[in-house]
Structure formats: C-alpha cells, structure tokens
Amino acid sequence: MFKRLLALLVVVVMSVSLLAGCGGGGNTNTPTNTTGAAESTGATGDTITIGTIQPISGAISAYGTQSRDAIQMAVDEINQKGGVLGKKLKVVVEDDENTPEKTVNAFKKLVTQDKVIGIIGALTSKCSLAITKEAQQRKVIMISPSSTNDTVTDAGDYIFKACYNDSFQGPSVAKFAIETLKAKTAAVMFDNTNDYSVGLKDSFKKKFMELGGTKVVEESYATGDKDFNAQLTKLKASNPDVLFISDYYPTVSLMAKQIRNVGMDKVVLLGGDGWDEITNNAGDEVVGSYYSNHYAPYSDDKEVKDFVSKYQTKFNVVPNALAALAYDSTYILADAIQKAGSTDPEKIKAAMLETNKKFVTGSIKFDPNTRVPIKAITMVKIEKDSSGKLIAAFGGTINPQ
C-alpha cells in the first residue's frame, strides 16, 4: 500500500510541474486584462495577425473586394520590407455582406478565435456602429477606412477612421454647389433607413442654406426601393439647380436613369463618396455630375499614381477610393505597431495618435479628440475619355475649414 501511495504522489507532483511549464497560468511575463487583450494577442511566433471586415459579397461587393485586395497588397509590401517588429504581418478576412448582424459575428470570431491585435473595418457606417462599443470594451484597435458617419468614433479612444466625417463631406459638397456651380436651389434624395444617407443629407442641406441657398426640397425612400418616379416628379416641380443624391452607387445608378426619364435633363447631379464605382455602373445620364471623394485615381499626385499603377498591374482594375482608404489604413496600423514597439493595444493606440504622414488619400493627422483625420476632400467630375469610357476625373479640392 505504501509503495502504491508513493507512486501516486510522484505522478501528482510531475503533473503539476508539467502544467506550470505549459503556460497553464504560470507565465508571469504576459500581462492580462479581463476586459481587453493580453500583450501577446495577435502575435504568435513569427506572425502578427490583424483582421478586416468587408462586404465581399452583396450589393456593394465592389467596395469590399477591392478593399480586401488593397489590404493584402499593403501587407505583402510590408512583409517584403521586413514586416512589423521583425515579424510577418498576416490578415484574416471576414465577409459581413454589409449586414450589421454579420459584422458582429465577424468581429467576435476575429477577436476570440483569431486573436487579432487590430481590425480594419467595418466598411460602411451602419456596420461599424454595430461593433464600436464592443471593440472599445475589449480594447481592440479598430480603424474604419470608410465609415463617414460622425458617430463612428464616439464609442471611445480605441476607435479610429481613415476617412473624413459626413459633417465635413456634406458641407463641402454644398460649398462646391454654391461657390463653383453657382446654385441657388437644391433638391435632395436620401434613404431614410440608412445612417450614412441621412447624416450626409442633413449636413449638405444645412450648409447649403447657410451659404445663401434659397431653397432645399427633399424626398426619401427606403433601402431596396427600385421605383423613384413619384418622388422625382415632386422634385421636378421645384425646378432645382442641383440634385444631391445621398446614397451608394447601385441606387444612384438606377435613380439617375429615372431622373432623366422624368424630364430633369439639365439638373446637375451631386453626391458623396458612396458614388465611387458609379463610372462602372452607369451611363451617359451621369456625365457632368460631381461627387466628393477621398481621392481621384487620375490625379497627378505621386502617391496616387504609384498606388494606382501597382494595384492596376496586380488586379487589372483602377482602384476605387475605398481601396485607397483600406490601403492607407493598413499602413497606418502597421506603422503604429512598429512605432509602439509592442503589440500592447494601449501603446498602439498612443502611436496611432502620433500619425502625421502623407498617404494615398492625402496627408493624415488625427484629431486627438475624435481620432478622425484632418485632410482635404477631392471633388470628382464624371467625364468621358477619348474612347467614350466614363472616368472619375479630378474636379477640385476642398480643404478643411
């Protein structure tokens, strides 16, 4: 009996020793946080893992696929130059189909399973807003390339964006309408079920009247609507100088045809960055229209030309603005990790705020209170090139006021 007890005691002692050596709570060099990530989160061996949430499928998949490709291109370039902190950078891609519920699921997977140290995304405002509070609570660095709704960064200091706010974008288009197009009256079409559309409409309308516009009439619709003739007929009666359509390119492309069909032939169509990709989805009915954007792919700017050349060579398509923003977001996050010298989210967050550099979409320096970049807006004019193809030509710049 004594020998059996002695043997059992030896086994127990050996088991405890093995558990301690395997990290079963015995590694005192890795600080933990019950509400956030550990120092080592996202960094395993020779790899640092980041995540991205994009609408790879669905109505605006052109945004998601190009953004995904731009992020991967940036990651490849960074790795070719030695990576980050001497490690290879890896990106895990999740498709949310531009659905907030799926964005939440994607976020949880990236954080709990993939253990990412930061997330690039989500793409649209409604999807980003679905995860910002969770990202802040878990202390996960999140940088949205393109969610322009003003409230996206309100959840806290772990939330950043690479794009400007709608409160700057809408007024900039209004200023362009008043000062450049000499418009006096305006009409607005917007999706009353979409935060992006409503926010952009409100800021445009307010600034247009402040700058001397005499009248703004508006009509609304809901996501998924296809027939806008009733609303457009009402707007036509007001005989507006410009018509601001606050929505994404699929809806704008469909609506533009109906605008011309109801007899609004002379009105100048205006829009925001959601119009990007419209040159690949619409026809002559949008020639002469303008929209605000984060860059113009046909610009003579060196950073823009280099990016477009590399992207076009690799993917055989001219990159849209959201691809450029996603590319910049990747470099902003990677630069911050390198500057922090750590994968500690607190240190990365501090390094992000020190960003002050020229990127593809302009010189970016974050407002320390909002974590939104202070940068200029590009106005794009839709024209035809010599072959008759629609292009997004450079139409001017509007600087922060």
Task: Identify any residues that bridge with 56 across adjacent strands, giving them in sequence order.
Answer: none
Residue at 26 is within a domain = no
Residue at 334 is within a domain = yes
Q: 247 and 138, same structural domain?
A: no
Q: Which two tokens stand for residue 250?
A: 């699929």
The secondary structure of the chain, three-state, reads CHHHHHHHHHHHHHHHHHHHHCCCCCCCCCCCCCCCCCCCCCEECCEEEEEEEECCCCCCHHHHHHHHHHHHHHHHHHHHCCCECCEEEEEEEEECCCCHHHHHHHHHHHHHCCCCCEEECCCCHHHHHCCHHHHHHHCCEEEECCCCCHHHHHHCCCEEECCCCHHHHHHHHHHHHHHCCCCCEEEEEEECCCHHHHHHHHHHHHHHHHCCCCEEEEEEECCCCCCCHHHHHHHHHCCCCEEEEECCHHHHHHHHHHHHHCCCCCCEEEECHHHCCHHHCCCHHHCCCEEEECCCCCCCCHHHHHHHHHHHHHHCCCCCHHHHHHHHHHHHHHHHHHHHCCCCHHHHHHHHCCCEEEECCEEEEECCCCCCECCCEEEEEEEECCCCCEEEEEEEEECCC
Residue at 23 is within a domain = no
Q: Above 50 in pLDDT, residue 8?
A: no
Q: What's the pTM? A: 0.79
pLDDT tens digit sequence for 364-395: 999 999 999 988 899 999 999 999 999 988 88
Q: 315 and 274, same structural domain?
A: no
Q: 394 and 287, same structural domain?
A: yes
Q: How far apart are CA 399 and CA 363, in angstroms?
A: 12
pLDDT tens digit sequence for 58-104: 989 999 999 999 999 999 999 999 999 999 999 999 999 999 999 99
Q: 244 and 347, same structural domain?
A: no
Residue at 31 is within a domain = no
Residues 315 and 295 sit within 8 Å (Cβ to Cβ): no
pLDDT tens digit sequence for 178-207: 999 999 999 999 999 998 899 999 999 999
Residue 40 pLDDT class (50, 70, 90 cuts) = very low
Q: 248 and 176, same structural domain?
A: yes
For residue 176, give its domain range.
167-293+379-398
Residue at 9 is within a domain = no
Q: 218 and 151, same structural domain?
A: no
Number of domains in the chain: 2
CA-CA-CA-CA torsion sign (325, 327, 330, 335): negative
Q: Given the DSSP bridges, would you call strands 159-161 and 390-398 parallel, antiparallel or unpaired?
A: unpaired
Q: 311 and 211, same structural domain?
A: no
Q: 154 and 275, same structural domain?
A: no
pLDDT tens digit sequence for 318-341: 999 999 999 999 999 999 999 999
Q: 66 and 159, same structural domain?
A: yes
Residue with more model confidence, 264 or 13: 264
Residue with more model confidence, 142 or 17: 142
Residue with more model confidence, 361 or 27: 361
pLDDT tens digit sequence for 122-177: 999 999 999 999 999 999 999 999 999 999 999 999 999 999 998 899 999 999 99
pLDDT mean across residues, the chain:
89
Residue 401 pLDDT class (50, 70, 90 cuts) = low
Q: How far is CA 6 from CA 1, 3, 19, 177, in A?
A: 9, 5, 20, 89
Residue at 73 is within a domain = yes
Q: 394 and 249, same structural domain?
A: yes
Residue at 354 is within a domain = yes
The CATH number for 136's domain is 3.40.50.2300
Q: 222 and 75, same structural domain?
A: no
Residue at 7 is within a domain = no
Q: 331 and 216, same structural domain?
A: no
Q: Above 60 in pLDDT, residue 19?
A: no
